[in-house]
Copies of this chain bind each other. A is one copy, B any other.
Amino acid sequence: MEIDHNFYMNLAVSEAWKYQGLTYPNPAVGCTITGEHDEILAVEAHHKAGEPHAEVNALKSAYYKLTQNKAILQLRTSKEIHTFLLQNHNNIFTNCSLYSTLEPCSHVGKTPSCANLIAQLGIKNLYIGVEDLNETAAKGNAILAKSGLHVSLHVNKEKCENLLFPFQKFLKDRFVFFKWAQRFNGTTDAGTISSSKSRKNVHAMRNVCDLLVIGGNTVRKDRPTLDARLVNGKAPDILILSRENEFDRTIPLFNIKNREVTIASDFSLLKNYKNIMIEGSEKMYALSREIVDYYLCYLAPSFGGYEGFKNIEDKFDILNASKEEEDIILWMKRRI
């Protein structure tokens, strides 16, 4: 195994994929920090909008690793961590390298600027997967260049681009992903398929989705709630894709506060939303095929069930595969 810049960047990429879909409206970003001797000090990711960026989470972990000073572990907000690091860094980062899948932000928004922090801490080398194409990026580059930092662009560029794509897509118009859970034999029926951790992960995604699309037959048959109760999150708006308008209104999904439910026979409602999850099986897959950006499959290591994917022909590129608890989680792009 080659232990090189790509290896350290890959660690950041893998960590970031764990939070893909959860960081909306922010991008999924990962960060690795290595020390003077190339020792790994931290591998962290951005978890959720409003929480610290990947670089700040990684600098926090690296600071603790280098100093064993537990004070920093108590800090939660980005501002607190920024302030603490600027006051207490004692130049411990001056021989460190930072690998970020995305160029560190230069603008002061919900959190202070990461580019500024990195420059002030005296980080030696900065390895970046893809540049931030926002208008303020030039300013960030200027900050970093002025500080004497050595910057390398496009480390593991393709992998970092795949990771960043959902963010770029919802900035542009909307990001649509199709999520399904299946067994090895392609079945999606006959009871619970994926592990409790996978199901919790889906609820966390529903919590940040603004629209969830589901088929009419599934609603009638499964009588679902489609909320985010496993993570105490908010329930997304629902589009029921159906030619018929008649539904038993005691089905739980209709009785959630602060949720809009629309029944329609096409996808035109999607234009009002930015981050959209489609849940379904073969029929919905076929219907949504032309509007889906990424596919998310929770693959349970089992055989069983009866109905599922049978008559589809398609190929995918796997963008990330990870094992969580029992299941394999695959993020994919359909080959066109």
* Residues of chain A at the chain B interface (Cβ within 8 Å): 1, 3, 11, 15, 34-44, 65, 182, 184-186, 297, 299, 301-304, 308-310, 312-318, 321, 323, 326, 328, 330, 332
Distance from A209 Cβ to chain B, minimum over Cβ atoms (Å): 24
Using known A-B contacts A3-B43, A37-B37, A185-B185, determine if residue A301 contacts B330 with beta carbons closer than 8 Å: yes
Q: Which residues of B contact A44 (CB under 8 A)?
A: 1
Q: In the complex, what residues of B have CB within 8 A of residue A317's CB?
A: 301, 326
Contact with A316, one of B301, B313, B332 (Cβ below 8 angstroms): B301
How far apart are the CA atoms of A151 and B316 in the complex, in Å? 46
In the assembled complex, which residues on chain B have CB atoms less than 8 Å from the CB atom of A42?
1, 3
A332→B301 contact, CB < 8 A: yes
Q: Which residues of B contact A315 (CB under 8 A)?
A: 301-303
Interface pair A40/B40, CB less than 8 Å apart: yes
Chain B residues near A302 (CB-CB < 8 A): 313-316
Contact A323 B323 (CB under 8 A): no
User: How far, in whole Å, are A323 and B299 apart by their CA atoms in the complex?
Assistant: 14
CA distance A297 to B299 in the complex (A): 13
B318 touches A323 (CB 8 A): yes
**Bound state CA distance, A49 and B11, in angstroms?**
31
Residues in chain B near residue A39, CB distance under 8 A:
34-35, 37-40
Contact A312 B303 (CB under 8 A): yes
Contact of A328 among B303, B304, B330 (CB under 8 A): B330
A43–B4 CA distance with the chains assembled, in angstroms? 12
* Docked complex Cα distance between A38 and B66 (Å): 12
Q: Which residues of B contact A11 (CB under 8 A)?
A: 1
Complex formed: what's the CA distance from A189 to B255 in Å?
46
B3 close to A41 (CB less than 8 A): yes
Excluding A3-B40, A184-B309, A302-B313, 18 further A-B contacts by CB distance (< 8 Å) are A3-B65, A36-B37, A37-B39, A39-B40, A184-B186, A184-B299, A185-B185, A185-B186, A185-B309, A186-B303, A301-B317, A302-B314, A303-B312, A303-B313, A304-B312, A304-B313, A304-B314, A328-B328
